[in-house]
Amino acid sequence: MSINPVTWFELNVHDIERAKAFYAAVFRVEFEDMSNEEMDYWCFPMDDKQMGAGGALMRMAGCEPGKGGTMVYFSCDNCAVEEGRVVPAGGQVCRPKMAIGEFGFISVVLDTEGNPIGLHSMS
């Protein structure tokens, strides 16, 4: 494979407004509405010239959020900062910031929809 394997992600949600509020509070971002008749679809900000994958919050029939699904890791300068915003935004901390050796640090949290997400930083 000549490129990074993840090119896009979608987080399934039940309550799109609640999910948008959670991610906006934790990551300090605004979303772009790309919804249509089939689904609510709100994209995270992205820049095609930067490294990493873009993604969206999605509410669509047949796609359910919840524990045990795909783990998406969000890049942070210091994952403890975003971790500190999780509970006030309505989420839950599952695994506080922990070292993962030469690969930096991670936190694992649940969003307001029950999706596990990872926070990753080098410091």
Residue 73 covered by a domain: yes
Question: For residue 106, what is the domain's CATH number?
Answer: 3.10.180.10
Residue 3 covered by a domain: no
Residue 36 covered by a domain: yes
Judged on CB neighbours under 10 Å (0-12, 13-18, 19+), 107 is buried
Q: What is the mean pLDDT of each run of 10 residues along the chain (123 residues)?
A: 78 96 98 95 92 91 80 94 98 95 94 94 95
Residue 2 covered by a domain: no
Residue 1 covered by a domain: no
Split into its structural domains, the chain has a count of 1
pLDDT at 69: 67
Dist. CA 117–CA 101, nearest whole Å: 20
Instruction: Identify residue 107 by its one-letter amino acid code.
Output: S
**Residue 57 Cα distances to 14, 36, 38, 44, angstroms:** 10, 13, 14, 8
pLDDT at 80: 98
pLDDT at 20: 98
Host domain of residue 15: 8-121
* Residue pair 116/94 in contact by the 8 Å Cβ criterion: yes
